[in-house]
A and B are shown apart, each in its own frame.
Chain A
Amino acid sequence: MNARDEILARLRTALGPTPSAPPVPRDYRVDDDLDDAARLETFVDRLVDYKAEVTRCTPDTLAEAVGAALAGVERLVVPGDVPEGWLSAYPGTAVADGPQPLTVSDLDDADAVLTGCAVAAALTGTIVLDGGAGQGRRALTLVPDHHVCVVTADQVVGGVPAAIRRLAPTRPLTFISGPSATSDIELNRVEGVHGPRRLHVIIVES
């Protein structure tokens, strides 16, 4: 018998003829009971708690906010489909990933990356990227040391269940809650290990 069939046979033997399990109670919270303003306040509070930087702006002041967040950044990487309007106040060089993909060393040379996101969860201060519009492939938001992420207010939901239910499972998904961190040395938290050491979230409210 091959390993697959043998393992499946073992598991059936272990379970016996009539394995059963009780039904799953799902009466936990699926969304918060916050209004839109309070939800955004919570989102900001959680991000700040993780030592992420936060800017709040309107669609009219978005380009200005992006420009300010990228102050000092000379080489910026963006996904091929980044909305043009985001960069109108940025004076440096923006290199697009695609149609010819950038190499890892191109990404390593970049000072920062600018993307959007798919959805964000306020209660945990989490942004989720799914490789969709304005987000690019996963390496883009990983190798550069500074990630600036634009989140629109309508992308912000309450908790994790509401976020999960908005996502397509088979896309490559990255949940980001603050900059990379470690607590491996005497449990002292150090922000910034291998992932971007700076995370800047720009929230756009209309």
Chain B
Amino acid sequence: MSERLPHGSGRLAGPRPFPDAAVVELGKPQLRANLHKATHTIRNKRARVVDELPDWEKLRLAGSAIKSDVMARLPELLVQFEAAATAAGATVHWARDAAEACEVVTGLVRETGADEVVKVKSMATQEIELNEALEAAGITATETDLAELIVQLNDDQPSHILVPAIHYNRSQIRDIFTERMGDAPAGLTDEPRVLAEAARLHLRRKFLSSKVAISGANFAVAETGTLVVLESEGNGRMCLTLPETLISVVGVEKLLPSFTDLEVFLQLLPRSSTGERMNPYTSMWTGVTPGDGPQNVHIVLIDNGRSATLADEVGRQALHCIRCSACMNVCPVYERVGGHAYQSVYPGPIGAILSPQMTGVSASGVSSTLPFASTLCGACYDVCPVRINIPEVLVHLRQEAVDAHRGKPSAERTAMKAMGWVMGDRRRYARALRAARAGSAPLAAVLRRRKVRRLPWPMSAWTASRDAPLPATETFRDWWRRTR
């Protein structure tokens, strides 16, 4: 069914198969040290504040059910949201894909006459590659979240959805500021406090003078037309409060039916995400409030592959994601390869099920390999605040990825077919074993161990990441006949 609906575009699927990209990332010891420290620190903080709530599992069940309800009623809730937001003074726009969303936002910025915008950290605007589109239109977009600013100054890509600059250590950040920030104070040290102060001074003038801000939203309330942004630094409040124009880019799946539903998600999200009881700042706004905050308020609702994802009955639960990043922090694969190997704005376990569905699992590049970027250990499912069964969806997508290539030659299928023929007949199998034993005997003598590092094609795919044992000197059947 998903094949009938158009897939998304933007920064969702890079060109390299996951194993190729992972090998490159695995060769970076600094990255692995940073990732280990980061993921373990956050997962421990999360565990402490989650254990504090006796009703955590009840909150997860409620969160999961609310999101299922949202998906089942998405068209009617979107219409309700549009009506409520419009009545409150906002203008609601719709965009089918990344290109259309960029076009809408660029047009809205142009209307204001501004050639500079400030941005609140937003996954949706990264997904549609908005900064690049604005730049092409001659509009300078400044990321105001500290980590996003670091990544942007260094022309890099985020590697984690909560802490995007986690692949840098403090001295690298000091160097980036010194070389690229323009107004970085002389003699900047690598103290986090000093670096944060430098960013504060760098951005303050922009905050106080910017006419246009662009944000995403963590939640959108259908009943009231309210948008919600959770943050820590106050850069979000600056962008949401001081400019005249505010443009928010929101995925259609961000809806919640009622304002009261926030009582569940404002407990689930901060504890799962930063491991705090509550994040320092949460802002909620409904259209325009006369005399308080932006008076020109726009909301751009984007599809970009979400409807195609919704069409898959098993896979649609990926749309329940509230972007907390808890799954990344417990994933043994993410912890070792980091975010860049996934080649999507959505890395880690959730990215491995979300990106391929948004782009189509049979798309070339990384998409068809992402469902295999997992050990299926299930840690991600255990920590997911909305109980997305990521392993279930991974297995489901693996099947789709295999089905998409059925009938085409592959090393695995060739090997299995040959094996099937040999094992289909007892005498043929016994002869093959004897031949293998005889054939490998000189090899064992030369190697002085009973393992082979590399086999010829098609078995080379197996030995790429494993040793192959040589056949035993005697089969079980031979041993049985000899000793009984």
Contact = CB atoms under 8 A, between A and B. Distances in A.
Interface of A: 2-4, 6-8, 10-15, 19-30, 46, 50, 101, 104-105, 108, 121, 123-126, 131, 137-139, 142-143, 159-161, 164-165, 169-188, 190, 192-196
A176 B282 CA distance: 7
Contact of B62 (A28, A174, A190): A28
A139 B262 CA distance: 24
B368 interface: no
Contact of A174 (B69, B192, B238, B281): B281
**How many B residues touch the partner, as a band?**
35 or more
Given A21-B71, A25-B62, A172-B293, 12 more contacts: A2-B94, A21-B72, A105-B208, A138-B283, A138-B292, A160-B263, A169-B226, A169-B286, A180-B232, A185-B173, A186-B37, A193-B235
B200 interface: yes
A108 B55 CA distance: 43
Contacts of A142: 234, 237-238, 241-242
Given A10-B307, A170-B224, A194-B200, A108 B284 contact: no
B165 A184 contact: yes
A167 B308 CA distance: 37
B62 A175 contact: no
A190 B293 contact: no
A186 B150 CA distance: 13
A139 B242 contact: yes
Given A21-B69, A25-B58, A170-B286, A187 B208 contact: no
Contact of B170 (A26, A27, A185): A185
A25 B2 CA distance: 30
A134 to B, nearest CB: 15
A176 B292 contact: no
A183 B232 contact: yes
Interface in B37-57: 37-38, 41-42, 54-55
B214 interface: no
B96 A190 contact: no
Nearest to A188: B192
Contact of B280 (A19, A121, A180): A180
21 contacts: A2-B94, A3-B95, A7-B94, A7-B301, A19-B73, A20-B72, A21-B73, A24-B65, A24-B69, A138-B241, A142-B234, A142-B237, A169-B224, A171-B286, A178-B280, A181-B232, A183-B274, A184-B150, A184-B164, A187-B38, A194-B237
Nearest to A162: B263
B108 interface: no
Nearest to A199: B280
Interface in B1-49: 1-2, 4-6, 34, 37-38, 41-42
A25 B65 CA distance: 7
Interface of B: 1-2, 4-6, 34, 37-38, 41-42, 54-55, 58-59, 61-62, 65-66, 68-69, 71-75, 78-79, 82, 88, 93-96, 100, 144-147, 150, 163-166, 169-170, 173, 192-193, 195-196, 199-200, 203-204, 207-208, 221, 223-226, 232-235, 237-238, 240-242, 252, 259-260, 262-264, 266-267, 274, 276-287, 289, 291-293, 301, 303, 307-308, 310-311, 316
* Smallest CB-CB A-B distances: 9 pairs: A195-B234, A194-B234, A10-B307, A161-B263, A14-B311, A175-B282, A180-B234, A184-B147, A137-B292
A2 B274 CA distance: 40
Most buried by B among A2, A7, A194, A196: A194
Nearest to B308: A14
Contact of B54 (A29, A104, A187): A29
